[in-house]
Amino acid sequence: MRVLTINPGSSSLKLSLLDPDGTLLAEESGPGGAVASLVAGLPRPDAVGIRFVHGGTAFTEPSVVDEKVRRRLRDLADLAPLHQPASLRALEEATQALPDIPIVACFDTAFHATLPEAAATYALPAAWRERFGLRRYGFHGLSFSYAARRAGELLGGVPPRMLICHLGSGASLCAVADGVSVDTTMGFTPLEGLVMGTRPGSIDPGIPMWLIKHGMAPPDIERGLERESGLRGLTGTPDMREIRKRAEARDVPALAALDVYHHRLRACAAAMAASLGGLDALVFTGGVGEHDTAVRERLGADLAFLGVRVDTARNAAASGDTDITAPGAAARTLVIRAREDLEIATGVRRALA
């Protein structure tokens, strides 16, 4: 089965066409809303898989899209306002461009359906939790699922206690025990956890309430949290590469932003390791995780007390899927290229089997 995967970002699209053994036959990328024009340049697929950030409690497996599924997906849109509307738009465009091809929705939240209740439950009134489904869902599950499986291939078996760091414009960590998600840093929405490109990560929940009491409108607060916070709020840019350049020139806001970023990253990584009871492997993936040697070096040093040691030369030369573990380290450290397209294609075939 030849599968076309569609990975919508908040303002961009990436399409990949994969043959049955996972070989990449063709790929296209472009702005949001360009599914029809991008599909026109690709060979015809047998099935389509679309990444959806939020599946709520309704979707814990890839799901063939019908009208009932479409309605439920629309109901989840306000939980991931940067991403879900883009996926819904891609779904409509793919349906129009390929009307007789089955479409499967694949969910970032699904990998975290295994979270134990202690990790998934917010200490909120029961009436709120039951009425609104308030719980920790977790995200980046397609990336985590692929990275866990790929780490097992590289190491000759999935490590019992693995911390996966998906670091990009959006960022989260996942504690993986024997291949299963047991804790993660994102929660009800993709705002919780690490400092990100435009999102603040975890903040005091009293801050939005205080701002509302002092005259700010909820839509303005939402926009600020989704699009104007994180690294952008600290430096004016969400681009880690630009911040690195400024830091090398001893720009004070850039240096301070990196300290804030790493303070939260170190604390969250240690918390994930505590959920696992130790660490056998540390995995970096995502745009920053794959390409920023300094982030890997600094977190490796921060986690030295857990047996992590990064080899400086291997780290500097890392390209693609690479082992950057220093000799004698108790925990292995890997860099794994993010391949959500392969995970989506696997989900499509499973759903249509």
Q: What is the structure's pLDDT at 308?
A: 98
Question: Rounded to the nearest 5 degrees, what angle is found at the Cα of 347, between the Cα atoms of 342 and 353?
Answer: 125
Residues linked to residue 13 through DSSP beta bridges, in sequence order = 8, 30
- Nearest of 138, 154, 167 to residue 275 by alpha carbon: 138
Q: What is the structure's pLDDT at 33?
A: 85
Q: What is the structure's pLDDT at 270?
A: 98
- Nearest of 151, 154, 44 to residue 101 by alpha carbon: 44
Q: Give the alpha-carbon dihedral of 318, 294, 163, 313, to 10 degrees.
A: 40
Q: What is the structure's pLDDT at 10?
A: 65
Q: What is the structure's pLDDT at 74?
A: 92
- Residue 44's alpha-carbon distances to 26, 40, 94, in angstroms, are 11, 9, 12
Residues of the chain with CATH 3.30.420.40: 3-107, 156-335
Which amino acid belongs to residue 140? Answer: H
- Nearest of 45, 38, 36, 37 to residue 14 by alpha carbon: 38
Q: What is the structure's pLDDT at 79?
A: 83
Q: What is the structure's pLDDT at 87?
A: 95
- For the range 258-262, what are the long-range contacts, defined as Cβ-Cβ under 8 Å and sequence gap of 24 or more? 260/195, 260/234, 261/194, 261/195, 261/231, 262/295, 262/298, 262/299, 262/302
Q: What is the structure's pLDDT at 67?
A: 95
- Helix, strand, coil fractions of the chain, as percent rounded to 5: 45, 20, 35
- Would the pTM of this model clear 0.85, i.e. be above it? yes
- Nearest of 340, 247, 334 to residue 289 by alpha carbon: 334
Rounded Cα gap, residues 161 and 180, in angstroms: 10
Rounded Cα gap, residues 195 and 238, in angstroms: 11
CATH fold of the domain at 156-335 = Nucleotidyltransferase; domain 5 (3.30.420)
CATH fold of the domain at 3-107 = Nucleotidyltransferase; domain 5 (3.30.420)
For this structure, is 108 an active site residue?
A: yes
Rounded Cα gap, residues 145 and 20, in angstroms: 19
Active-site position among 21, 46, 100, 108: 108
Which residues of the chain carry a pLDDT beneath 70?
10-11
